[in-house]
Structure formats: C-alpha cells, structure tokens
Amino acid sequence: MEQAAYKPGEHPDLPPPSDTVGPIAWVRANLLSSPTNIVLTVLSIWFLYEIIPATLDWAFLDAAFTGESRDECRAKAGGACWAFIGERFNLFTYGFYPADERWRIDLAFVLLCVALLPVLWDRCPLRKYGLYFACAFPFVAGWLLLGGFGLTPVDTDEFGGFMLTLVIGITGITFSLPIGIILALGRQSDMLIVRVFSIWFIEFFRGVPLITLLFVASTMLNYFLPTGTTFDLLLRVLIMVTLFASAYMAEVIRGGLQALPRGQYEAADSMGLKYWTSMRLIILPQALKISIPGIVNTFIGLYKDTTLVIIIGLLDPLGVGRSSLADTKWTGLSNEMYLFVAIFFFISCFGMSRYSLYLEKKLATGHER
C-alpha cells in the first residue's frame, strides 16, 4: 500500500544488501572467494604470524641500542645490536674523510638538495636560476670534495661510505644520459660507420659484467696510458661505470626513438629542420618522455651497482661495514650491518622509482583515453 505513495520512478534508492558492502563483504571478496583463496589466505597469515613478531622482537623490542662492544650488547638483550651502527655511523657516512673537513661533505649534500629541487620540481620558485645552479653543481661539489683553490686537498682514497655511493651514482647518472643519447642516435644513424661503431660499443659494454670492467680499470688501464701517467682509481671507476651505464641508456632511448611514429621524423624533415634541430625540438622530447621508466630503471641499476666497487677495494657502505666487522669488538654483527645498508639503498631506489611514476603521470599529455 505504502509503495503507492511514490510516483513511478521516484522511489528512493534502497540501501545495498548488507552482504555486498562493508568490511565483511570486502573480506569475503578479497580473501575468501574460493577454496584456493582461503588456503592462500591462511598460509599467508600463518607466514606473517611467524615472521612479523620475531622480526619486531629482534629489531626493536629485544634490541640493544647502546653499548661499547658486541658482548655488552649481548649481555643486555638477545636481539639486534644497533650500538654498532651508532658507533660507526660517521664511518658509514663519510668513510675516512678527515674529520675536520667533513663540513664540506655536509655542505655539498645540502647544495645537492638545493640543486635537485628545481630539476625535479617544475613549479619551484626561481627555477631558471636553480637550473643554472644545477649545471654548475658538479663542479662546485667536485671542488668542495677534492679541495684545492683554498681548501685543503683531500685524496680520493679517503672517500668512502654513503658519500662514495652518492659520488659514483650521481656522476654516473649525470654523464650517462647525454652519452647514452648520442650512442642511441648513432645507432639509428644513416651513416654506416657511425652506426657500426655505436653498435660495437653498446654491445661490448652490455655483453660483459660490470665487475670485469672494474677489474680492467683497476688492473690494466694504466697500461693503455702513456708511461709514467698515474690515474686516480676513483676516476677510472667513474669512467667505467659511466660508460657501462650509457650503453644500457642507449638501448633504452633507442626503444623510445623506435616507438615514435615514422611520421614525426618525416614531418620534421618536411619542415626543413636540420638534423640536430629536429632531434632537439621534435624527436628527443617525445622519445625521452616515452623512455622515462626505462631511464629511471637504468639509474636505479647504476646506483645499486655502485656497491660493486668494494670488490676492487673502494670502501662504500658495504665495504665500510665489512671492514668494521673485522674489528673483534663488533665481530659477527653482519645482519645488523646488511639491514642498515639495505634500508639506505631501499629508500633511495624506492624514492627514485616513485618519482618516475609521478613524472610519467605528469607528462602523459592526454594521448590516452
């Protein structure tokens, strides 16, 4: 009877059936939808139950945060001994850089953040000047870290820790992109010789492991230089890492170049643009945009690969950690050390990959429907 009170089509919406909304429905749909699903859910919960409390216990609840040695930690608590990281924190950060000069690394790091801001954030105030500064930054940082011109010179042997990772990573990233672009263009070139040399270069560096290249840098590069020249080991490593990364970069960018429709090249030609102008204004902006995920992946790979330098004796965080473990006071704390270094790498690499997702979204200029 009451239904008649509404005109046709004016009946208010009824609430959805109670078993299709709310947490219970969500659990049903997402965790218990089929027998296999139920088994998987039970297994994962059991797995989490086994792992999480034990890890929390080890890392926080039963861990020692202060202490002078491993034995002192062990006497206090049965879990992790973070006092080790605390005591060696400066070594992990600065390596063997002279203590009085460490402000230079701090300053360089602050300047790095200042330089990155306008590069990464396109609505940054005074962006234009910021970009000029970013271009000058590598030289400023080089001067700060190496010294000279009024600052006490510091030998590159004393570089180490996270600072070394950043130095290798950022140098590699800065230089591998332009070299990679040139190689990719060379590989696409109409000129046979240029193409062949680009292909050789790219395939050689992609075909061998980075560690063998580092061995080459450390053992035999001196043979190829004029007699009597000595060449800084860090510089040799930087060159090898950069060349290695640029070969990968070239392949990523080639993917972007090939993904562009032929019409873009032809349109640029028919406008009468010269090769470099058409590349700069038409082809590369589009190709680089397509290849952003690949480029960032290469950056992340390069950044992670900086750890390999420990094998030829440079002391990055892993190297510092391993040599610290040799100290009888702290022996046997490898899990703490590896976890600490892993967290550092995780934060930087995860940050980079998140930023690339953001960039992809921002640059998607509405070709998708």
Partner 1 sequence: MAETVAVPSQRNVISRLWNDKESRSVIIQVLTISLVFAFLAYIIHNAVVNLQAIGKGFSYNFLWQPSSYDINQHLIDYDSRSTHFRAMLVGILNTILVAVCGIVLASIVGFVLGVLRLSKNWIVNRLAYCYIEYVRNVPVLLHILLVHGLIVHAFPVPRQAISIGDVTFMTNRGIFSPKPLYEPLFLVVIVLFVLALAFMWWFKRHAQKVQDETGKRYPVFWIGLGTIVGIPLVSFFLLGSPITWDVPALKGFNFTGGMVVRPEFIALLLALSLYTAAFIGEIVRAGILGIYYGQTEASYALGINRGRTLSLVVIPQALRIIVPPLTSQYLNLMKNSSLAVAIGYMDIVATIGGISLNQTGREMECMIIVLTLYLVMSLIISMIMNWYNKRIKLVER
Q: By the criterion CB under 8 A, which residues form the site for partner 1?
A: 29-31, 33, 37, 40-41, 44-45, 47-48, 190-194, 197, 204, 206-212, 215-216, 219-220, 222-227, 300, 304-308, 310-311, 318, 322, 332, 334-335, 338, 341-342, 345-346, 349-350, 353
From the CB of 316, what's the least distance to partner 1, in Å? Answer: 10
- Tell me the DSSP string of 302-357: HHHHGGGGGGGT---HHHHHHHHHTSGGGTT-HHHHHHHHHHHHHHHHHHHHHHHH
Output the six-digit token pair for 183: 């190689």
Question: Rounded distance, CA 155 to CA 147, Å?
Answer: 9
The residue (of 127 and 322) whose beta carbon lies closer to partner 1 is 322
Closest CA to 79 of 268, 323, 335: 335
Cβ of residue 281: shortest distance to partner 1, in angstroms? 20
| Structure tokens given for 353 | 């990959």
- Judged by beta carbon, residue 104 or residue 218, the one nearer partner 1 is 218
CB of 150 to partner 1, least distance (A): 35
**In the complex with partner 1, which residue's Cβ is closer, 60 or 346?**
346
Residue recorded with tokens 């263009």: 185
- In the complex with partner 1, the residue whose CB is nearer, 144 or 181, is 181
**Least distance from partner 1 to the Cβ atom of residue 247, Å:** 12
Tell me how far, at minimum, the Cβ of 197 lies from partner 1, in Å. Answer: 6
Given the complex with partner 1, which of 109 and 215 has the nearer CB atom?
A: 215
Per-residue CA distances from 260 to 181, 284, 285, 286, 312 (Å): 15, 10, 11, 8, 42
Q: Is the CB of 95 or the CB of 319 nearer to partner 1?
A: 319
CA distance 28 to 20: 9
Please tell me the chain's helix, strand, coil percentages from 3-state DSSP, rounded to the nearest 5.
75, 0, 25
- Give min distance, CB of 351 to partner 1, in A: 9
Cα 316 from Cα 310, distance rounded (Å): 6
Query: Residue 74 or residue 127: which is nearer to partner 1 going by CB?
Result: 74
* Shortest distance in whole angstroms from residue 209 CB to partner 1: 4
Shortest gap between Cβ of 53 and partner 1 (angstroms)?
A: 16
Output 71 or 106, the one with its CB closest to partner 1: 71
DSSP-assigned states of every residue in 84-134: HHHHTHHHHHHTT--GGGHHHHHHHHHHHHHHHHHHH-TT-TTHHHHHHHH
The strand pairing partners of 64, in sequence order, are 81
Which backbone phi and psi does 302 adopt, to 5 degrees? Answer: -60, -45
Question: Is there a contact between 180 and 252 (Cβ–Cβ < 8 Å)?
Answer: yes
* Least distance between partner 1 and beta carbon 11 (Å): 34
Nearest residue (CB) to partner 1, 21 versus 29: 29
Q: Are 93 and 344 in contact (CB under 8 A)?
A: no
